[in-house]
Amino acid sequence: MSQQPNISLPAPTITPVSQPFWDGIKEGKLVLQKCDSCKEWIFYPREHCPHCFHHSLTWKEATGCGKLKTWSVIHRAGHPAWQERTPYVVGIVELIEGPSLLTHLLLNEEELTHNMDVEMDIQEIGPHPLPFFKQKEEETT
Ligand SMILES: [Zn+2]
């Protein structure tokens, strides 16, 4: 990671539907759609609720916390710009709000356990702030 990391990193594909999600990431927040009818949280961004097909969805800030359900250690990156970061871990995080997302994890293989608590951690990778997940820090009271 001593070299320039942004040689040719592919940018996220931002559409009019997903724009608020990426605007939230730029502000350090995880914002998701919530259905105004059935109240389910939704990810990925869509035009209609996948639970009840209602079209009235509102963007709301989520906790950014969830549990790690499964993962895979990547040794050969899918894009050459990621190769210098290998090995890295991608996994499925089930958010407290309900939806699951595929994400890059800031954890080493030996740290991974099923259902471990994780939280979003936005990383500036090249010119793009991207949502990664890391082990949730213990709350001290
Ligand atoms: Zn709904």
Are residues 88 and 46 both part of a single domain? Answer: no
Say which residues have a Cβ less than 8 Å from residue 113's Cβ, sequence separation at least 6.
68
- 36 CA distance to ligand 1 centroid (A)? 7
Query: Number of folded domains in the chain?
Result: 2
**Would you state the pLDDT for residue 131?**
94
- 46 CA distance to ligand 1 centroid (A)? 11
Nearest to residue 59, comparing CAs of 48, 70, 73, 45? 45
- 21 CA distance to ligand 1 centroid (A)? 18
What is the full per-residue pLDDT of the chain (141 aa) written as tens digits? 444 444 567 788 999 999 999 999 999 999 999 999 999 999 999 999 999 999 999 999 999 999 999 999 999 998 888 888 899 999 999 999 999 999 999 999 999 999 999 999 999 877 789 999 999 988 766
Are residues 135 and 101 both part of a single domain? Answer: yes
- 35 CA distance to ligand 1 centroid (A)? 5
Are residues 84 and 141 both part of a single domain? Answer: yes
Range of the domain at 94: 63-141
- 67 CA distance to ligand 1 centroid (A)? 23
Are residues 28 and 84 both part of a single domain? Answer: no
Nearest to residue 79, comparing CAs of 42, 111, 104? 104
CATH number assigned to the domain comprising residue 126: 2.40.50
Measured CA to CA, the distance from residue 128 to residue 78 in angstroms comes to 18
Are residues 70 and 134 both part of a single domain? Answer: yes
- 8 CA distance to ligand 1 centroid (A)? 39
Based on C-alpha coordinates, what's the Rg of the chain? Answer: 16
Tell me the sheet residues that pair with 80: none
In a domain, 5, yes or no: no
pLDDT per residue as tens digits for the range 76-106: 998 888 888 899 999 999 999 999 999 999 9
Q: Are strands 117-125 and 128-135 parallel, antiparallel or unpaired?
A: antiparallel
**Would you state the pLDDT for residue 7?**
54
